[in-house]
């Protein structure tokens, strides 16, 4: 198969001419009209914390980025509830917010049925809801959200190095966060890495160092920052419909080529294909086989540590997210599935 030479990372910070609309600008307003423009998803959460006039409790899914959890402790009293992408709904028996507590509702990989959360909210009217639509920012759920706050990290969905939106029931966008600004340090490094990768056609040590530098700077941030003028300009002229068609075609090709297996099951394929393995060993074998075939996988939040608990560790050690989106062709997506069929 043709190797996925440009996907050793889960996202693509660099847009190309084929992803731009011929008729010019206008795409951005369809995504986040009337929202504040932040640099990242964590910046959106920091912004919520900064807006509050009190230190509130925040309930966060157990399966969530550990570095963000730690940083949010500067704004909130942190609580946790069991919520795993391989399951159709959170384990609501572990979620017991008091009136006025915030609850982070995550649409994992774009696979969650919003009705699950709507029914819970009817029974728990005192809780305040923050919805994370990072993996499905164009979904009807995201567009029609009635949560107290909702956000999406657009840099994980579109070819831009930074960017997120934040909406709220009573949030009047501040002037500072209503337009693009200078490029954050982390996105400058990510963009440099993507440009170098594109120019050289290979993921070498210099490219890797830039990407790790970007992640280090992102993880060190502790205050909200706005989207860069560069990302906003690129986002505004992207051919969103074409990118969505390409993503959907690749998801369909992967799912159609993937054969039933006793070793794993396909949880879903919308943001990208997500597989749940029966054992940690089988998951590791699949990871190695895919990497040998040129499909370099990102590890989603594996560093939970020994205090994570058995359920969370099992989820982290048996879940694989295949880096297929709008960048590949359907034949490449099908070839990735064939690697798994050969296990």
Cα dihedral 35, 244, 323, 104 sign: positive
With CA atoms as reference, report the closest residue to 26 among 238, 340, 324.
238
CA pair distance 44, 37, nearest whole angstrom: 8
Find out whether 109 and 85 touch, Cβ atoms under 8 Å.
yes
Please, which residues bridge with residue 238 across strands?
20
Q: What CATH code would you report for 240-341? A: 3.90.1150.10
Which strand ranges, in their side-by-side order, compose the sheet holding 128-132?
A: 36-38, 164-168, 149-153, 128-132, 102-106, 57-61, 77-81
Q: What is the pLDDT of residue 6?
A: 41
Number of C-beta neighbours around residue 91 at 10 A: 14
Find out whether 48 and 131 touch, Cβ atoms under 8 Å.
no
Which residue is it, tokens 């942190």?
78
Find out whether 318 and 278 touch, Cβ atoms under 8 Å.
yes
Distance of CA 18 to the CA centre of its chain: 23
Give pLDDT tens digits for 28-42: 777 777 899 999 999
Exposed, middle or buried by CB within 10 Å (0-12, 13-18, 19+), for 180?
A: buried
Cα dihedral 215, 217, 247, 146 sign: positive
Per-residue DSSP letter, 92 = G
Output the average pLDDT for the chain: 90
Residue intervals of the chain classified under CATH 3.90.1150.10 are 240-341
Find out whether 38 and 227 touch, Cβ atoms under 8 Å.
yes
Distance of CA 299 to the CA centre of its chain: 12
CA pair distance 6, 23, nearest whole angstrom: 28
Residue intervals of the chain classified under CATH 3.40.640.10 are 23-183+223-237
- Longest CA span, the chain: 56
Give pLDDT tens digits for 158-213: 999 999 999 999 899 999 999 999 999 999 999 998 899 888 888 788 988 998 89
Give pLDDT tens digits for 231-290: 999 999 999 999 999 999 999 999 999 999 999 999 999 999 999 999 999 999 999 999
Helix boundaries (H) for 146-219:
185-200, 205-219
Give pLDDT tens digits for 286-333: 999 998 888 878 765 555 666 678 899 899 999 999 989 999 999 999
Find out whether 323 and 298 touch, Cβ atoms under 8 Å.
yes
Angle between the N-to-C axes of helices 330-341 and 280-292, in degrees from 0 to 180, rounded to the nearest 10: 130
Give pLDDT tens digits for 73-125: 999 999 999 999 999 999 999 999 999 999 999 999 999 999 999 999 999 99
Give pLDDT tens digits for 57-85: 999 999 998 889 999 999 999 999 999 99
CA pair distance 339, 335, nearest whole angstrom: 7
Per-residue DSSP letter, 148 = S
Per-residue DSSP letter, 14 = -
Q: Which CATH class is domain 23-183+223-237?
A: alpha beta
Q: Could you give phi then psi for residue 260, rounded to 5 degrees?
A: -60, 145
């Amino acid at each position: 198969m043709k190797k996925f030479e440009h996907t050793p990372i889960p996202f693509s910070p660099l847009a190309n001419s084929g992803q731009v609309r011929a008729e010019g600008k206008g795409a951005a307003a369809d995504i986040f009209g009337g929202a504040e423009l932040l640099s990242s998803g964590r910046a959106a959460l920091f912004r919520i914390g900064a807006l509050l006039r009190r230190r509130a409790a925040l309930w966060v899914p157990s399966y969530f980025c550990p570095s963000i959890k730690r940083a949010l402790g500067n704004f909130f009293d942190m609580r946790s509830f069991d919520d795993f992408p391989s399951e159709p709904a959170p384990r609501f028996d572990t979620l017991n917010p008091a009136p006025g507590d915030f609850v982070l509702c995550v649409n994992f990989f774009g696979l969650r049925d919003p009705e699950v959360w709507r029914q819970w909210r009817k029974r728990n009217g005192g809780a305040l809801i923050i919805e994370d639509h990072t993996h499905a920012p164009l979904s009807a759920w995201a567009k029609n959200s009635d949560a107290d706050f909702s956000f999406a990290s657009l840099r994980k969905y579109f070819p831009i190095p930074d960017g997120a939106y934040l909406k709220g029931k009573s949030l009047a966008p501040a002037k500072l966060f209503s337009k693009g600004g200078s490029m954050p340090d982390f996105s400058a490094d990510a963009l440099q890495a993507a440009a170098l990768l594109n120019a050289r056609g290979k993921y070498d040590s210099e490219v890797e160092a830039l990407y790790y530098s970007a992640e280090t700077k992102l993880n060190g941030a502790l205050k909200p920052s706005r989207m860069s003028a560069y990302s906003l300009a690129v986002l505004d002229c992207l051919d969103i419909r074409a990118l969505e068609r390409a993503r959907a075609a690749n998801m369909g090709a992967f799912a159609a080529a993937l054969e039933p297996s006793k070793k794993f099951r396909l949880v879903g394929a919308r943001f990208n294909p997500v597989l749940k393995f029966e054992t940690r060993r089988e998951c590791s074998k699949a990871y190695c086989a895919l990497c040998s075939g040129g499909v370099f996988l990102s590890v989603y939040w594996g560093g939970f540590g020994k205090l994570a608990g058995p359920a969370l560790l099992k989820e982290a050690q048996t879940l694989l997210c295949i880096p297929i989106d709008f960048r590949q062709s359907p034949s490449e997506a099908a070839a990735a599935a064939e690697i798994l069929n050969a296990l």
